[in-house]
């Protein structure tokens, strides 16, 4: 070929590419430091399963298979392109190990994958232009890239076909089966014409690939480069856990400017594919709230690119340890407000933290911490709290419960029921953490009384803290009041340690998630946290609770986001219902991993829903569509929201909402 031209081409293209990546790196360094180097083996497994294995994309069968085919095919063809680059210097060049029989097998796989990629591209174009899924935005860039990738496949076929015409005894002929079948295209052509085709397709292929490489960092397809690093550098803590905020030495709380984000959040911005999976079942988005998780990430990315020169300068200053100069540069920069102009403030408050966006994202973008960090800024830096939340926060501060009921009344729900107190027993197998809803909300107090009756019947050794119990802190933390949360959590942990608690039982998934996944950051160690659905299912299986059959009853079970999606507990509550003769379980279309939120998470239990339609109405309509007479749940927030929805949609005579503990008690033998 032409070694001089190939050298110039590689030098120019790689210089541009490395320069662009350097700018993106310095821009990312404008963010705050964050250590993501822990647990390398676990990160490697994630890279293999989620990154190379395309696990999250394959969940959606056809669209996922299409994307995975293009991904794997591109990897195979990239190996071919590396070979072609080498042949620009020496016509007999082969990558290591691909010069013999293995190289012939590779030629077979290369052509096969190239055909599969072309089929996948046709399907992708058909989906975008004909099917038009609502989550996808029609993008000329996406169509352009698909055609670009297809051109890489076609030019490789034609280059090989021309080469086989010129060299009929070439070793790869027959193995590269598509190119071999394409040889007929050049039948009857002169050697000069075929040579021109061979060289033309060769150079077009190489130029297309190198141009594609330089195009990627300037659009949403940057994820082709950043997705695998993003998966490796993903957050390894549970999805329901938020990062601990250290108040000491900080002057800025939360995120009010891009530079307040960690560098990992900038990687999220780079990596967003704009696929819309996060929007697809977002409860706020589907009920006409201003929140669209995709827009949060994309709009932040657009602001970052618009401020690129400034952020690159800040990143370089931080890398040099010139923190004072970096801070001065940040203060001097005039830009649209992150909250209010880039992101709609109503959108920030609309999030229920249900976790769908995080769970659905194929490249591990963390939408919830992004949003909560902005709430933290609003609450702790700007004192901007929705009026409807002020009463709940005042109650948490004064009485350690969002209902703002006197803390002295935390045991009133017990009444005459035989419920042991930890202060009397000193120790017990299980600490029953009642939670604020069970203590102060009359409807959920019924659930706790039912649970305690079942525990007493089964002879379980348990006790409650009573007036020694404080709010777990979930409402404060999810609305962004981290300082108030850190007043609650350590006090509870101290009480747990006082009684040497080994197992915590709770009927609230929010308490469950908080104690299991977030309290360890504050010193709670070696404590097993159990949801009441899990323990009750175990007691049934062990024969300690026997159930009788009742009248035929159609029941649908609603998955709590913090029990299901965030903590992967789906089966135990269904096993309880399945153990009762006469109960027919009917699944809602959106169930288990795809379960739809009730609307109460993220502190929204204590906020009015005055935009769009009500999330709980959307969910109860779905429950009613199953024909079930009863919707069961295992969460006090869900029970309240679904019960309210039944009343508000005038279904009180045909449906009711109950907790699984209440259903069990009614069917106790």
Give the span between the Cα atoms of 107 and 101, in whole angstroms: 10
Q: Kindly report the number of other CB atoms within 10 A of residue 542's CB atom.
A: 9
Give the span between the Cα atoms of 314 and 512, in whole angstroms: 41
Residue 70 has pLDDT above 90, yes or no: no
Give the span between the Cα atoms of 410 and 443, in whole angstroms: 15
Contact 385, 479 (CB under 8 A): yes
Contact 470, 398 (CB under 8 A): no
Helix or strand or coil: residue 441? coil
pLDDT confidence of 1, banded at 50, 70, 90?
A: low
pLDDT confidence of 91, banded at 50, 70, 90?
A: confident
Residue-range domains of the chain with CATH: 39-232 (1.20.950), 258-380 (no CATH), 387-536 (3.40.50.1860), 539-666 (3.40.50)
Q: What is the pLDDT of residue 185?
A: 86
Nearest to 482 by CA among 522, 512, 511: 522
Tokens of 398: 């004064």
Please give the order of strands across the beta sheet that includes 430-433.
462-464, 430-433, 503-506, 528-531
Dihedrals φ, ψ of 464, to 5°? -110, 160
pTM of the model: 0.91
| DSSP code of residue 289 | -
Dihedrals φ, ψ of 240, to 5°? -85, 0
- pLDDT by residue (tens digit) across 226-257? 999 999 999 999 999 999 988 887 888 999 99
Give the span between the Cα atoms of 580 and 31, in whole angstroms: 55
Does residue 336 or residue 103 have the better pLDDT? Answer: 336
Where is 505: in which H helix or E strand? strand 503-506
- What pairing do the DSSP bridges indicate for beta strands 528-531 and 583-585? unpaired
- pLDDT by residue (tens digit) across 253-273? 999 999 999 999 999 999 998
Distances (CA, A) of 140 to 70, 129, 143, 215: 18, 11, 5, 14
Weakest mean pLDDT among 126-135, 399-408, 569-578: 126-135
Residue 432 has pLDDT above 80, yes or no: yes
Range ranked top by mean pLDDT from 122-136, 543-557, 558-572: 558-572
Cα-to-chain-centroid distance, residue 667: 38
pLDDT confidence of 60, banded at 50, 70, 90?
A: low
pLDDT, mean of residues 453-481: 96
Q: Mind giving me the DSSP string for 168-200?
A: TT-TTTTTSHHHHHGGGGGTT--HHHHHHHHHH
Tokens of 165: 């015409």
Q: What is the pLDDT of residue 18?
A: 95
Dihedrals φ, ψ of 462, to 5°? -140, 170
Q: Provide CB contacts within 8 A for 77, sequence distance 6+.
A: 110, 113, 114, 117, 152, 153, 156
Burial bucket for residue 413 (CB in 10 Å: 0-12, 13-18, 19+): buried
Cα-to-chain-centroid distance, residue 246: 24
| DSSP code of residue 372 | H
Contact 446, 511 (CB under 8 A): no
Helix or strand or coil: residue 435? helix
Nearest to 522 by CA among 481, 488, 567: 488
Q: What is the pLDDT of residue 99?
A: 74
How large is the C-alpha radius of gyration of the chain? 30
Tokens of 114: 């190239």
- pLDDT by residue (tens digit) across 138-148? 778 888 888 98
Distances (CA, A) of 189 to 1, 160, 238, 499: 21, 15, 64, 90
- What pairing do the DSSP bridges indicate for beta strands 430-433 and 503-506? parallel
Range ranked top by mean pLDDT from 115-119, 137-141, 486-490, 511-515: 511-515
Beta partners for 631?
556, 657
Residue 219 has pLDDT above 90, yes or no: no
Tokens of 266: 């900038």
- In angstroms, the first-to-last Cα distance of the chain is 86
Q: Mind giving me the DSSP string for 207-240?
A: HHHHHHHHHGGGSGGGHHHHHHHHHHT---S-TT
Tokens of 131: 């099917």
- Give exposure, 237-254, as e/b (b: 16+ Cβ within 10 Å): eebbbbbebeeeeeebbb
Residue 669 has pLDDT above 90, yes or no: no
What stretches of 563-662 adopt beta strand conformation (E)? 583-585, 630-633, 656-659
Would you say the C-alpha torsion 285, 287, 288, 289 has a positive or negative sign? Answer: negative
Q: Mind giving me the DSSP string for 114-170?
A: HHHHHHHHHHHHHIIIII--TTSPP-HHHHHHHHHHHHHHHHHHHHHHHHHHH-TT-
């Amino acid at each position: 070929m032409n070694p001089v031209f190939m050298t110039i081409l590689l030098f120019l293209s790689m210089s541009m590419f490395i320069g662009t990546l350097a700018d993106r790196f310095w821009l990312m360094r404008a963010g705050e430091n964050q250590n993501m180097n822990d647990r390398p083996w676990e990160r490697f497994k994630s890279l293999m399963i989620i990154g190379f294995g395309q696990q999250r994309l394959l969940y959606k069968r056809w669209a996922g298979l299409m994307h995975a085919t293009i991904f794997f095919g591109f990897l195979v063809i990239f190996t071919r392109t590396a070979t072609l680059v080498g042949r620009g210097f020496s016509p007999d060049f082969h990558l290591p190990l691909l010069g013999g029989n293995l190289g012939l097998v590779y030629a077979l796989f290369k052509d096969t994958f190239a055909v599969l990629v072309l089929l996948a591209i046709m399907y992708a174009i058909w989906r975008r232009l004909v099917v038009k899924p609502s989550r996808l935005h029609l993008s000329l860039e996406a169509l352009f890239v698909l055609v670009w990738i297809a051109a890489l496949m076609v030019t490789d076929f034609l280059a090989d076909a021309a080469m086989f015409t010129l060299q009929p005894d070439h070793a790869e002929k027959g193995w590269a089966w598509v190119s071999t079948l394409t040889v007929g295209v050049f039948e009857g052509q002169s050697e000069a014409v075929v040579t021109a085709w061979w060289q033309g397709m060769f150079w077009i292929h190489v130029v297309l690939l190198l141009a594609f490489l330089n195009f990627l960092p300037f659009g949403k397809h940057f994820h082709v480069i950043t997705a695998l690093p993003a998966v490796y550098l993903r957050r390894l803590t549970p999805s329901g856990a938020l990062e601990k905020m250290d108040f000491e030495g900080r002057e800025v709380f939360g995120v009010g400017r891009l530079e307040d984000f960690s560098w990992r959040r900038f990687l999220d911005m780079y990596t967003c594919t704009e696929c819309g999976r996060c929007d697809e079942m977002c409860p706020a988005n589907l009920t006409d709230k201003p929140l669209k998780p995709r827009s949060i990430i994309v709009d932040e990315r657009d602001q970052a690119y618009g401020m690129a020169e400034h952020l690159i300068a800040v990143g370089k200053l931080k890398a040099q340890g010139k923190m004072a100069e970096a801070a001065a540069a940040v203060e001097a920069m005039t830009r649209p407000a992150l909250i209010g102009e880039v992101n709609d403030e109503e959108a920030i408050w609309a999030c229920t933290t249900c976790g769908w966006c995080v769970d659905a994202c194929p490249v591990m973008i963390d939408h919830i911490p992004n949003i909560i960090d902005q709430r933290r800024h609003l609450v702790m830096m700007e004192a901007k709290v929705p009026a409807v939340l002020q009463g709940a926060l005042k109650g948490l501060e004064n009485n350690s419960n969002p209902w703002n009921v006197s803390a002295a009344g935390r045991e009133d729900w017990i009444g005459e029921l035989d419920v042991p107190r930890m202060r009397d027993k000193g120790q017990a197998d299980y600490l029953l953490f009642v939670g604020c809803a069970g203590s102060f909300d009359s409807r959920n107090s019924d659930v706790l009384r039912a649970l305690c009756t079942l525990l007493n019947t089964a002879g379980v050794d348990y006790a409650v803290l009573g007036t020694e119990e404080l709010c777990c802190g979930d409402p404060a933390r999810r609305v962004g009041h981290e300082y108030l949360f850190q007043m609650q959590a350590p006090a509870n942990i101290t009480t747990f340690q006082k009684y040497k608690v080994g197992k915590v039982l709770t009927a609230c998934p929010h308490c469950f998630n908080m104690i299991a996944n977030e309290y360890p950051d504050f010193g709670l160690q070696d404590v097993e946290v159990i949801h009441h659905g899990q323990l009750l299912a175990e007691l049934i299986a062990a024969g300690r609770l026997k159930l009788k059959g009742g009248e035929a009853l159609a029941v649908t079970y609603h998955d709590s986001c913090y029990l299901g999606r965030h903590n992967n507990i789906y089966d135990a509550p269904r096993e309880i219902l399945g153990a009762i003769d006469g109960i027919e379980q009917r699944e809602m279309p959106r169930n288990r991993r795809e379960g739809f939120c009730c609307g109460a998470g993220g502190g929204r239990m204590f906020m009015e829903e005055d935009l769009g339609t009500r999330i709980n109405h959307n969910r109860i309509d779905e429950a009613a569509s199953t024909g079930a007479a009863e919707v069961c749940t295992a969460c006090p927030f869900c029970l309240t929201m679904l019960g309210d929805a039944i009343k508000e949609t005038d279904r009180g005579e045909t449906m009711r909402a109950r907790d699984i503990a209440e259903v069990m008690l009614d069917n106790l033998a």
